[in-house]
Amino acid sequence: MTHRRPLIDALTAFQQQQPISFHVPGHKNGELSALPPEMRSALPYDLTEVTGLDDLHYPEEAIQEAQQLLAEAYGADQSFFLVNGSTVGNLAMVYAACQEGDTVIVQRNAHKSIFHALELAKARPVYVAPEWDEESLTASGVAFADITAAVMAYPEAAAVILTYPNYYGMATAGLKETIAFCQSQGMAVLVDEAHGAHFQIGDPFPASALAYGANVVVQSAHKTLPAMTMGSFLHIQGDLVNREKIKKYLRMLQSSSPSYLIMASLDDARAFVQTYSQPDIRYFKDKRKQFIRGLKSIPRLEVFESDDPLKLMLRVEGYNGFQLKEQLEKAGIHAELADPYQVLLIMPLLKQIHAYPFAEVRKRVKEAIRELEQYPGDALAVKMPIQQAISVPDISYAQMDTETREWIPYTASVGRISAGMVVPYPPGIPLIVPGEKWTLEKLEGLADYLATGAQIQGEHRLEEKLICVLPEIKRQ
């Protein structure tokens, strides 16, 4: 256990010198800023690579020590701070693990950043469909049998990309066996563990993919740890992925002017995990238990507990999650996301020193449900699109780059190859990716999402009822 925070110490020591800025950034320690005072107070620490503050891309001092402490805390061979979110970590690990034209086995319900990485790297994806979890009402992980079949069918694959846990905190059973099998076939295992940065704490949380031997693991420290938005970690272990390539692509893909505020928050988040004690765990479990007991006493409210104790799903029979989320927001409760079935809450990872207004939250949730009941219910079961267990795009990314695009009514899309990504957000899982064919099931899924008012990101013009596809000739 260590309380050391070397980068924070370096920043603090630098400011104690009362430095006068003749360097970037242009706000000059906040002196020229017109931000509100509460925001401006942080700007003296929004610095650049001046003497004593090290360099993220070539660390030798405080940042190097902070990243070494990160690797020790997570049991990795080497770890890195990410200031451009888990997205840049996903890009870097894909670029480092495969070359143009390489086959890559990828979990079909990956985050959109994984698909972007595959497209940029011009890899050949082989998709493995997830299983549908009837309890959490989410697409969860991929079955070991399906991964095994994909590996045996595509033995030339350079890597396997998995997502663990899913957005809702459901942890894939058999992950350890899956990782071991893939590696036994010489395939690197890359894991987008965006929602599992706190798993290193141990029980009652699931084990991290790092503990199961994954070669590269990317975590969004800002999602569940006290790090600033865009602050993430990347961890490497084993020798199936070249570390020097990871470093190269992080230098290329990350900002050359990294935020010291974000990096300081990552130093703090690592210390938070490393000093999370057994008394802290008992305190968190007790507060969580009391909160859930209070929620379950509210009439008509169903509380579903995820594999990850930080995630709770709230449901009200007869109403969809978007309706519930709207009433919660009117009551001042802002959830992480809504879907056709439920609302997702991300709990605070409390230590003994922290308090949280759980009693007030329960009161407001109860009021929100009372208001919700004044409106007609609009429950809608969105069917998960029927997909083959193992599939490949109809054309390659390289072929797509040479094709023109056309916009057609989405109702006429069945059988056409998508030229863009369509992503209900959150949770940011693509309904379709470039190179895949629109099917009746996918189209019905899109219609259901639109009917519930879900936000749809990607390359589309759905406000005009149009989507982008490749020319008709590609239907053959």
Q: For the chain, how big is the Rg over CA atoms in Å? A: 23
Q: Please identify which residue in the block is written with the tokens 């894991």.
A: 191
Vertex 255 angle, CA 55 and 116, to 5°: 135
The pLDDT value given to residue 384: 61
| pLDDT tens, position by position, 254-306 | 999 999 999 999 999 999 999 999 999 999 999 999 999 999 999 999 999 99
The pLDDT value given to residue 465: 92
The segments of the chain whose pLDDT lies below 50 read 474-476
| Residue 234 to residue 210: CA distance in whole angstroms | 11
Under a CB-based contact definition with an 8 Å cutoff, are residues 395 and 450 in contact?
Answer: no
The pLDDT value given to residue 474: 41
CB count within 10 Å of CB 245 equals: 14
Ranges of each domain in the chain: 6-98+154-275, 278-373, 394-470
The pLDDT value given to residue 93: 98
The pLDDT value given to residue 89: 98
| Residue 240 to residue 389: CA distance in whole angstroms | 26
The pLDDT value given to residue 476: 40
Under a CB-based contact definition with an 8 Å cutoff, are residues 402 and 440 in contact?
Answer: no
| Residue 342 to residue 52: CA distance in whole angstroms | 49
Q: Which residues contact 335 (CB under 8 A, 6 or more apart)?
A: 314, 325, 328, 329, 343, 344, 345
Vertex 329 angle, CA 109 and 197, to 5°: 40
| Residue 26 to residue 75: CA distance in whole angstroms | 39
DSSP state of 437: B
| Residue 303 to residue 296: CA distance in whole angstroms | 6
